[in-house]
Amino acid sequence: MLIVAACHSSSDDSLRETPDSASACYERALNAYDSDSIRLAEQLLNQAIRLAKKGNDLHTMYLAQLQLSQSLSQGNPEAALKVAKQALATYKRNPDSKRNHIIILDYIGTYASQVAFLSGGSFGEALDYTREAYEQAKLHREELGTEQLCQTLTSLANIHWAMEDYQEARRYARMAEHNATRELLLGTQQVLARCLVSCDSLAAAEDIYRRMEPGNDLQASYIVQSNLAKLALYRNDIEAAEEAIDSAFSHAEDLYYQALQQKDDYYQTALQQERDNERLRYQTALQRRTLCSGIIIVLLLAGITTYIIRQRLRDNRQKLIMQQQELRLRQQEAEAQRDQLRQRDGIIEFLKNFILERSTVIQKLGTSSERHVTLTPHEWKEVERTLNAIDGDRFIRLRERFPDLREEDLQLCILTRLRLTNRAIGNIYGVSISAVQHRKLKLKKEVFGEDNPDITFEQVLDSL
């Protein structure tokens, strides 16, 4: 309570001390602004205006009015516009500086555009004052330089952008960038980039943001990176968006900690009630900006995450569908192969039964068990042709690969392929089982070149 009382007492003492002149009161108001004592500064400006009016100090009067309008513009654009018009009227009674004339006109145009934007009214008054400021800046360009010209062009670009006349806004923004000084270049580039985005010139806007050099200005760095992230999202460049978001978040953190440091310094010097109030408002605004930045970043991250998840789910669904189709195709192929094998095995079994049946009949007709079955050359050719038809031309390829293969050796291969036992083959040839085994072993080694005893003649024939 003692600190609050002391602060109020200090504030009241500052007001009770009557300056010697309006200009001195105006200087004290500027010092109050430097100390973040906004309310005290506004009170001193009103006092300076009254003293200047009383002493007919028109120069100090319109400067104080212009400064007061700038202070009021943050929360009350209509009041700021009214005071700025009073400053213009005061200036016209005693014009002394072309630069100040242009500044007043530009301020009036800016405040009028704010009022029109908030109320949904016409921007005609704003355009009239700002165009007059632009014409004055262009007329006195050689005397004043390009700084005032750049500022008026930037104001025209902002007004046309608020009117949603984006093409005209872009034209004025281009002109402002062309005439910008080093100190004003960053601000004009921000306006130009915003206009390009509104005109759907995203590539040109990204080029502007990448050419911007914010330096140690953390807030400008954050604006650049956050807008680059938005442009990356527009073109679905997830990796670039993530990098820009990370950079923007880093700048936001630096800005936040820098602001915290400034707040700590502010605590050490805040001994007056006005400073305490301003500190609380500043802290609230900072938290609001930080919260908004955090929400934006969270929303961006959530959008990116949602996009990635949806993309992966879509890819997984497509892969699953392709796998199911591939599995069905393989099942169909396997079923077709099984059908072919069943058909081939059926024919082979038929031929086997056919030969065995002939062997049984001949054996029944003969009186000796040593009688063997005899097949005619035509019958051998029929059996070979049938096997080739169901077994992929196996014996045609066997003849081509081994041209020296004898006909009786080929017949032994055919009987083996028909899955006849050694006993049945011996009955056909009228030889013993051991003789059949010997012929198979000899054929495997001498003709087919297989010396491995673990590999049977049947396996060699299947591999060929």
> pLDDT tier at 13 (50, 70, 90 boundaries)?
very low
Task: Locate 242 and state its tokens.
Answer: 């993530």
Over residues 91-97, mean pLDDT: 87
Token pair 């902002």 is found at 158
What is the phi/psi pair of residue 441, to 5°? -65, -45
Please write down the HEC assignment for all residues of 300-357.
Answer: HHHHHHHHHHHHHHHHHHHHHHHHHHHHHHHHHHHHHHHHHHHHHHHHHHHHHHHHHH
Over residues 211-215, mean pLDDT: 81
d(CA 120, CA 403): 100
Q: What is the pLDDT of residues 277-289, one digit of tens each?
A: 777 888 888 888 8
Q: How high is the pLDDT of residue 394? A: 86
8 and 271 Cβ atoms separated by less than 8 Å: no
Question: Helices 98-119 & 124-139, crossing angle to 10 degrees?
Answer: 160
Q: How high is the pLDDT of residue 207? A: 86
- Residue 82 predicted with pLDDT over 90: yes
- Residue 222 predicted with pLDDT over 70: yes
Q: How high is the pLDDT of residue 380? A: 82
> pLDDT tier at 242 (50, 70, 90 boundaries)?
low
Q: How high is the pLDDT of residue 240? A: 55
- Residue 355 predicted with pLDDT over 50: yes
Give the best-scoring range by mean pLDDT among 2-16, 92-106, 224-238, 278-292: 92-106
d(CA 444, CA 454): 12
- Residue 437 predicted with pLDDT over 80: yes
- Residue 171 predicted with pLDDT over 90: yes
d(CA 58, CA 319): 80
Task: Locate 348 and state its tokens.
Answer: 């082979």
Give the best-scoring range by mean pLDDT among 32-46, 222-236, 266-280, 338-352: 32-46
Q: How high is the pLDDT of residue 269? A: 56
Q: How high is the pLDDT of residue 16? A: 42
Instruction: Out of 86-100, 139-153, 240-254, pick the least confident.
Output: 240-254
- Residue 357 predicted with pLDDT over 50: yes
d(CA 282, CA 433): 109
Over residues 28-53, mean pLDDT: 88
Domain boundaries, the chain: 372-463
Q: How high is the pLDDT of residue 268? A: 58
Mean pLDDT of the chain: 79
Over residues 435-444, mean pLDDT: 88
- Residue 50 predicted with pLDDT over 80: yes
Over residues 182-188, mean pLDDT: 87
Q: Which residue has the higher pLDDT, 6 or 457?
A: 457
End-to-end CA distance of the chain: 107
